[in-house]
């Protein structure tokens, strides 16, 4: 099975063309491929391009725990670069269907920078979803591992929980992230961002990604966190998001439609041998 690997600010994905599949990818297959010791190693798998009745292309996104994700900002940017490298798109905008909604992508120049229209952010508990009475989930509190945390929740087609902190570190994401991801108030589990507002145009994030764990960068997390900062009046509508893997540029429009721009880097091409799928299942 041939694959191509890219990363967006250290958030790496394996792209597999559907023609390479002899059968449907199972959760077991996905876990093995993504394993960093027993497989190729990645933060997820992008399967496409697939046919779509509503867009130019369709994309399926899989997390390294074997589950399917609704949307991924970095995954979408990587997929856009992959389409560009295959010669299927040029510099004109095009559309991509995902489980989390249809998005528009555009490749700039020779492919180094990609812009994705991520769709509209909502803070509505029914859409995210978050359990309880219907409301905008803003500045609520939860106690995690004995610590009271203030959080907001949002959806960009996938769920996010943004924790506001005066100071953040990778240890915050690793300590609290697993508990928040699986907290009962989030029926579909959730991505988690620990956010420090630097000024009205810059925020800093540490990220725990649903189904993947600690992550160097995330496009949908950047979109959700920047939208929360803007919604709370802490930032203006153009925000640079600083993450361990690098920076992304977010523009928040009047209706909370999000534009995301950032770099994508090709890593390698290769072949996955069938022996990978016959070994004992190894979980990340």
DSSP the chain: -EEEEEEETTEEEEEE-GGG-SSPPPHHHHHHHH-TTTSS--S-EEEEEE--SSSSEEEEEE-TTSPEES--HHHHHHHHHHHHHTTS--SS-EEEEETTEEEEEEEETTTTEEEEEEEE-B-BTTTTT-SSSS-B--SEEEEETTEEEEEEEEESSSEEEEEE-SS--HHHHHHHHHHHHT-TT-TT--EEEEEEEEETTEEEEEEEETTTEEES--HHHHHHHHHHHHHTTSS-SEEEEEETTEEEEEEE-TT-EEEEEEE-EEEEEEE--THHHHSPP---
**pTM over the 0.85 mark:** yes
- What is Dmax (Cα atoms) for the chain? 54
106 DSSP β-pair partners: 115
d(CA 87, CA 104): 17
Domain regions of the chain by residue span:
2-102+265-278, 120-263
Q: Say which residue, 35 or 283, is predicted with more confidence.
A: 35
The distance of Cα 122 from the centroid of its chain, to the nearest Å, equals: 16
Tokens 């229209």 locate to 117
Q: From CA 268, how far away is CA 2, in angstroms rounded?
A: 11
What does pLDDT average to over the chain?
Answer: 96
C-alpha closest to that of 10 among 252, 227, 188, 264: 264
For residue 280, the model assigns a pLDDT of 77
Mean predicted confidence (pLDDT) in 111-134: 96
Binding residues for substrate: 11, 63, 73-74, 158, 191, 209-210, 219-220
* Pairwise CA distance, residues 196 & 212, whole Å: 22
The reported pLDDT for the residue numbered 279 is 79
pLDDT for residue 278: 85
Query: CA-to-CA distance for 43 and 128, rounded, in angstroms?
Result: 23
Binding-site annotation: residue ranges:
11, 63, 73-74, 158, 191, 209-210, 219-220
Domains 2-102+265-278 and 120-263 in one fold: yes
Query: pLDDT of 14-45, one tens digit each?
Result: 999 999 998 999 999 999 999 999 999 999 99
What are 47-85's pLDDT values in tens digits? 999 999 999 999 999 999 999 999 999 999 999 999 999
pLDDT at 281 over 80: no
**Residue 283 pLDDT grade (very low, low, confident, very high; cuts 50, 70, 90):** low
CATH superfamily of 120-263: Diaminopimelate Epimerase; Chain A, domain 1 (3.10.310.10)
271 pLDDT more than 90? yes
Closest by CA position to 213, among listed 191, 188, 233: 191
φ and ψ of 251, to 5 deg: -115, 130
Superfamily classification of domain 2-102+265-278: Diaminopimelate Epimerase; Chain A, domain 1 (3.10.310.10)
Contact 41, 3 (CB under 8 A): no
Query: Which tokens go with 43?
Result: 């933060």
């Amino acid at each position: 099975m041939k694959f191509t690997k890219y990363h967006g600010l250290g958030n790496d994905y394996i792209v597999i063309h559907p023609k390479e599949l002899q059968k449907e990818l199972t959760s077991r297959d996905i876990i093995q491929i993504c394993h960093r010791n027993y497989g190729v190693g990645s933060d997820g798998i992008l399967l496409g391009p697939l046919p779509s009745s509503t867009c130019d292309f369709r994309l399926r996104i899989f997390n390294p725990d074997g589950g399917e994700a609704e949307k991924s900002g970095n995954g979408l940017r990587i997929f856009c670069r992959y389409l560009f490298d295959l010669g299927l798109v040029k510099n004109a905008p095009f559309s991509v269907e995902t489980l989390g909604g249809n998005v528009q992508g555009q490749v700039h120049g020779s492919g180094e920078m990609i812009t994705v229209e991520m769709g509209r952010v909502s803070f509505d508990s029914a859409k995210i979803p978050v359990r309880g009475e219907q409301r905008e989930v803003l500045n609520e509190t939860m106690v995690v591992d004995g610590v009271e945390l203030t959080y907001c929740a949002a959806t960009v087609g996938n769920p996010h929980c943004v924790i506001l902190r005066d100071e953040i570190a990778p240890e915050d994401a690793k300590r609290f992230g697993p508990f928040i991801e699986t907290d009962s108030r989030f029926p579909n589990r959730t991505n988690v961002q620990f956010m420090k507002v630097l000024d009205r145009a810059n925020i800093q994030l540490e990220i725990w990604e649903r189904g993947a764990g600690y992550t160097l960068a995330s496009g949908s997390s950047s979109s959700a966190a920047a939208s929360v900062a803007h919604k709370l009046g802490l930032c203006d509508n153009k925000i640079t998001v600083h993450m361990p893997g690098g920076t992304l540029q977010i523009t928040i429009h009047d209706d909370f439609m999000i534009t995301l721009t950032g770099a994508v880097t090709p890593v390698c091409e290769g072949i996955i041998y069938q022996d990978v799928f016959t070994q004992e299942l190894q979980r990340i």
